Amino acid sequence: MSATANTIPAYLPLRNDLIGEEPYGAPQLDVPVCLNVNENPYAPDPAVCEAIARRVLEIAPTLNRYPDREHIALRRAFSDYIARESGVRLDVDQLWGANGSNEIMLQLFQAFGGPGRTALGADPTYSMYPEYARDTFTGWRLAHRNPDFTLDLDALVAAIGDIRPSMVLITSPNNPTGTPLPLEDVERVLDACRDIQVAGAADGVRPIVVIDEAYVEFRTPGTPSAVELIERHPNLAVSRTMSKAFAFAGARVGYLAASKGIIDCMRIVRMPYHLSAVTQAAALAAFEHTDEQLARVDHLRQVREDTAAWLKTQTYQGEPLQVAESGSNFLLFGGRFDDRDAIFDGLLARGVLIRTVGPAGWMRVCMGTDEEMAHFRDALVETLRDVEAR
């Protein structure tokens, strides 16, 4: 059972600012079709499972010793992968790993946030960012996106000048909308931060720009990654994860690409031996089989395009459904649902779990197997029919 405001005893000295807060988390329900947490729906290839077992068996006799706290072998694997995936070769000291990109983000807030500091985002955006800010006593501010969910660069640049944040966080592709982020937009944000003094900091301290590329492998082929800008922009940090395209959500492996200076800041706040030997071994095994791990990405990208086209043929209250442009493995759709909870419940009753997240009127569905998507389409048609008939 999850902790809630009603289950925490009043006599416990919970921080005052946490009283009444609920723990983050998408619903975990036992239903036939789970399309709510943006996982890769395809299990690892048997060869990958065998490699993981072999790697773990090799290090098992050493588990009485602490792991390599600098995870050098894994950082080399990150470097090799980025060179292959994005055509950029980074040194080991420009890379850092952690238990999922969630821990990467928390470490960034620990290193660059804190009392008197402010982080700036562009909403709608990932719902965990304000929780990282809360947990590190960092201020959290937002610059609103355009109606089509692209960045309102003028508003964001103005907010950077007014707020003088220590961190600017942008997701690419965006979560929960899936919106692609052109590299020229990233460069404009970096340029805007170049001459901004962080509020309350010493002279010469400039904001860092964090680009969250959790879903970057699902982008349109040929689209550049922000890692291409790292050598020219020492205040740029690019966060990634193995959870999504790499089909490794259960292993909890994320990583950061940035300047050596930013990585050294992360090393200050990391917990001792934060990446277990088992985690490192499993990740190295997965990288041995990169082709197998990414084998379904092209297909899932096509499923996304086919699903977007199909959703646009569906109607609600006489109008076609809206579908946000997406470069990820999910789609934000609807736009005009006046009771999305009823639609969520109708889908759930038919064995399909998606997410009510993002702006009012919209819902998010991640791409599943062909069978799961067929089930989703049938369930949505029936649900929309029943909701409109009420």
HSE at residue 322, side-chain half, CA atoms within 13 A, is 15
Verify that 238 and 330 share a domain, yes or no. no
Confidence of residue 6 (pLDDT cuts 50, 70, 90): low
Number of structural domains, the chain?
A: 2
Verify that 85 and 111 share a domain, yes or no. yes
Verify that 285 and 302 share a domain, yes or no. no
Q: How far apart are CA 44 and CA 332, in angstroms?
A: 27
Determine the average pLDDT of the residues in 362-382. Answer: 98
Confidence of residue 24 (pLDDT cuts 50, 70, 90): confident
Last residue of a domain, one of 230, 261, 293: 293
Verify that 211 and 129 share a domain, yes or no. yes
Q: Is residue 11 part of a domain?
A: no
Q: Is residue 188 part of a domain?
A: yes
What's the mean per-residue pLDDT of the chain? 95
Verify that 63 and 39 share a domain, yes or no. no
Verify that 53 and 30 share a domain, yes or no. no
Q: Is residue 327 part of a domain?
A: yes
Confidence of residue 249 (pLDDT cuts 50, 70, 90): very high
pLDDT of the residue at 225: 97
In Å, what is the CA distance from 116 to each residue of 45, 100, 198, 266?
Answer: 48, 27, 10, 19
Look up tokens 């290090």; give the residue.
Answer: 59
Verify that 282 and 347 share a domain, yes or no. no
Verify that 373 and 261 share a domain, yes or no. no
Task: Give percent of the chain above pLDDT 90.
Answer: 93
Q: Is residue 380 part of a domain?
A: yes
Q: How far apart are CA 94 and CA 79, in angstroms?
A: 9
**What angle, 0 to 180 degrees and rounded to 10, lies between the N-to-C axes of helices 260-269 and 100-112?**
90
pLDDT in tens, 153-166: 999 999 999 999 99
CB 165 within 8 A of CB 207: yes
- What would the two tokens of residue 304 be? 């996304």
Last residue of a domain, one of 274, 293, 312: 293
- Reply yes or no on whether the pLDDT at 3 is more than 90: no
Q: Is residue 3 part of a domain?
A: no
pLDDT of the residue at 390: 79
Verify that 209 and 145 share a domain, yes or no. yes
For 156, the domain range is 46-293
SS3 362: strand
Determine the average pLDDT of the residues in 277-299. Answer: 96
Q: Is residue 72 part of a domain?
A: yes
- Reply yes or no on whether the pLDDT at 2 is more than 60: no
- What would the two tokens of residue 333 be? 């759709």
CB 185 within 8 A of CB 173: no
Q: Is residue 7 part of a domain?
A: no
Last residue of a domain, one of 236, 262, 293: 293
Verify that 299 and 154 share a domain, yes or no. no
Q: How far apart are CA 161 and CA 198, in angstroms?
A: 10
Verify that 233 and 380 share a domain, yes or no. no
pLDDT of the residue at 4: 57
Verify that 263 and 176 share a domain, yes or no. yes
Task: Give percent of the chain above pLDDT 70.
Answer: 98
SS3 68: coil
pLDDT of the residue at 1: 45
pLDDT in tens, 56-87: 999 999 999 999 999 999 999 999 999 999 99
Q: How far apart are CA 249 and CA 140, in angstroms?
A: 27
pLDDT of the residue at 26: 73
pLDDT in tens, 105-136: 999 999 999 999 999 999 999 999 999 999 99
pLDDT in tens, 314-370: 999 999 999 999 999 999 999 999 999 999 999 999 999 999 999 999 999 999 999
Q: Which residues pair with 210 in a beta bridge?
A: 169, 237
Q: Is residue 6 part of a domain?
A: no
CATH number of the domain that residue 350 is part of: 3.90.1150.10
CB 248 within 8 A of CB 39: no
